[in-house]
């Protein structure tokens, strides 16, 4: 992304806001940010998100909305769902969450009750706030237990996680991270979850693009 090919800011009439946008363009193009979730958005996406679509309420799902006049929104959401299913080889997907956190909360509310046990990666070892940190909503509503990396290798110890899961017997195990740089063995998490009768949620928000590329 460069200021040369980014013309969106030139259409902003408020000079103060326009100047700040220019500064942000410069910041993004002149710095390397190693935050996976802060990827560059294409110009096509920026133009689409800034279209008249932003004016429309579309609560509910295609064909089952709470407002009239959603036929065009239905068409776009259907396209997005079909393309996502094709990419991931899935039969169903939900493309409505605006962020990974929203998606995580949707899963929690669908399968958990207040006070249920969750086993997730400790924040200091690379986990995510939404996986049950006490400062997050999830940490206030659920009983959170955490697994950590091996202090010597700084790699997840799956046998230790298995032992924890057998003792804790969580309702949900979360496999995924926000700042763990090693490969996560999701198949091993699947085995552990099956052994203890837990749900398994794979939070792949930061690596989903790499998984399907």
> Each residue of 47-63: pLDDT tens digit?
888 899 999 999 999 99
Q: What residue spans define the domains of the chain?
A: 48-95, 100-212
- Whole-angstrom distance, CA of residue 1 vs CA of residue 145: 41
Phi, psi of 174 (to 5 degrees): -105, 120
- Whole-angstrom distance, CA of residue 202 vs CA of residue 17: 39
Compute the half-sphere exposure of residue 167: CA atoms within 13 Å on the CB side of its CA.
9
Residue 200 clears pLDDT 50, i.e. is over it:
yes
Question: Binning pLDDT at 50, 70 and 90, where does residue 6 land?
Answer: low
Residue 3 clears pLDDT 70, i.e. is over it:
no
Contact, 131 vs 121, CB < 8 A? Answer: yes
What is the model's pLDDT at position 212? 86
- pTM for this structure? 0.86
Residue 86 clears pLDDT 50, i.e. is over it:
yes
* Rounded (5°) CA angle 175-180-181: 125
Contact, 47 vs 6, CB < 8 A? Answer: no
Fold held by 100-212: 3.40.640
């Amino acid at each position: 992304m460069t200021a040369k090919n980014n013309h969106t800011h030139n259409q902003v009439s408020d000079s103060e806001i326009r100047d700040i946008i220019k500064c942000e363009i410069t910041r993004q193009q002149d710095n390397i940010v190693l935050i996976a979730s802060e990827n560059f958005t294409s110009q096509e996406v920026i133009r689409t998100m800034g279209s008249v679509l932003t004016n429309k309420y579309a609560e509910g799902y295609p064909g089952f909305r709470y407002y009239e006049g959603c036929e065009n929104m239905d068409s776009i959401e259907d396209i997005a769902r079909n393309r996502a299913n094709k990419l991931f080889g899935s039969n169903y997907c939900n493309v409505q969450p605006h962020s990974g956190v929203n998606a995580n909360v949707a899963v929690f509310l669908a399968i958990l009750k207040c006070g249920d046990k969750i086993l997730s990666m400790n924040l200091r070892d690379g986990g995510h706030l939404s996986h049950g940190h006490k400062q997050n909503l999830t940490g206030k509503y659920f009983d959170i237990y955490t697994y950590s990396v091996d202090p010597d290798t700084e790699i997840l110890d799956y046998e230790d996680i298995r032992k924890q899961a057998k003792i804790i017997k969580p309702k949900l195990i979360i496999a995924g991270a926000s700042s763990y740089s090693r490969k996560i063995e999701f198949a091993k998490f699947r085995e552990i979850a099956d052994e203890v009768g837990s749900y398994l949620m794979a939070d792949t928000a930061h690596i989903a693009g790499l998984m399907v590329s």
